[in-house]
Amino acid sequence: MKVLVTGSNGFIGSTLCDQLADADVGFVRAIRNPLPGAVAVGSINGETDWSEALQDVGAVVHLAARVHVLNENTLDSEAEFQKVNVDGTANLARQAAQAGVSRFIFISSIGVHGQNSGEVPFSADDLPAPHNQYSRSKQRAEQELKKVCDETEMESVVIRPPLVYGPGEGANFLRLMKWIDSGIPLPLGALKNLRSLVFAGNLCNLILKCLTHPAAAGETFLVSDDRDISTPELFRMMGSKMGKPARLFPVPQPMLCLAGGLLGRSRDITRLCGSLQLDISHTQKVLGWTPPFTLEAGVKKTVLDYLEEKKKGRISS
**Domain spans of the chain, in order of start:** 2-169+197-225+277-292
- State the burial class of residue 123 (Cβ atoms within 10 Å of its Cβ: 0-12, 13-18, 19+): middle
| Mean pLDDT, all residues of the chain | 93
Give the number of other CB atoms < 10 A from CB of residue 251: 15
- Mean pLDDT for 155-162 is 98
pLDDT tens-digit readout, 27-47: 999 999 998 999 999 999 999
User: Has 306 been annotated as catalytic?
Assistant: no
CATH number of this structure's domain 2-169+197-225+277-292, picked from the four choices 3.40.470.10, 3.40.47.10, 3.40.50.720, 3.30.390.50: 3.40.50.720
> Residues 163, 224: contact at Cβ < 8 Å?
no
**pLDDT of 214 above 80:** yes
Rounded CA-CA distance 197/223 in Å is 8
Confidence of residue 81 (pLDDT cuts 50, 70, 90): very high
pLDDT in tens, 97-143: 999 999 999 999 999 999 999 889 999 999 999 989 999 999 999 99
The active-site residue out of 122, 134, 199, 289 is 134
* Amino acid (1-letter code) at residue 39: V
Residue 72 has pLDDT above 60, yes or no: no
197 bridge partner residues: 163
H or E, element range at 309: helix 295-311
Query: Do the beta carbons of residue 12 and residue 107 sit within 8 Å?
Result: yes
pTM (two decimals): 0.95
- For residue 71, what pLDDT is reported? 46
Residue 48 pLDDT more than 70? yes
- CA pair distance 223, 159, nearest whole angstrom: 7
